[in-house]
Amino acid sequence: MRVGVLGLQGDFREHLTVLRSLGVDARDVRTQEQLEAVEGLIIPGGESTTIAYLLEKTGMLKVLRERGAQGFPLYGTCAGMILLARELSDPYPENRIALMDIAVKRNAYGRQLDSFEADLQIKNIGSFRAVFIRAPKIVRVGSGVEILAEHDGVPVLVRQKNLLASSFHPELTGDPRVHRYFLEMVAQG
């Protein structure tokens, strides 16, 4: 199985490390050609406006929209969630993948200093210690979106068919179970 991590900006290296520890052929994806060579893609946390700009500049934004709509597995963490969201409560970035039927508020949990960890109960995974850094908050979930975990009554891990998104950073925890869950999605194709 070949799984990519978008390597244009953000904490892509940490995701690659987790995937490789699970024995996956994990690849840093920065071009359309590299994107074509993987069976699923993780869009990491980072700066959503920068990642969106670079996706558009490389031509990958359109490809990801098309492939994601056709069932290509995508997992967005933090900024990646913002890029997957169909709706934002603030006006930018406009050039998003926009496939998941959720509305998201950027940096809703506060600034860098307000970062925190929390214990979650994740459906089909169990107890999980999650790391939230300048995290986006899901403010609306469409009827086709499954809530897999909540924090204080707010969804923080959601799935819509081939799309997975989290407000938190599982790559920073040392616990690979959320990544393993995504790999199962990729394997199911």
Q: Which two tokens stand for residue 141?
A: 């979930």
169 is an active site residue = yes
Rounded Cα distance between 90 and 94, Å, is 10
The catalytic residue among 15, 151, 171, 179 is 171
The catalytic residue among 14, 15, 151, 169 is 169
179 is an active site residue = no
Pairing of strands 100-105, 85-88: parallel
Pairing of strands 41-43, 74-77: parallel
Residues in the chain: 189
Rounded Cα distance between 12 and 82, Å, is 16
- Cα radius of gyration (the chain): 15
78 is an active site residue = yes
Q: Which two tokens stand for residue 95?
A: 């050039």
Pairing of strands 154-160, 146-151: antiparallel
Q: Tokens 């359109």 appear where?
A: 62
The catalytic residue among 15, 78, 151, 179 is 78
Catalytic residues: 78, 169, 171
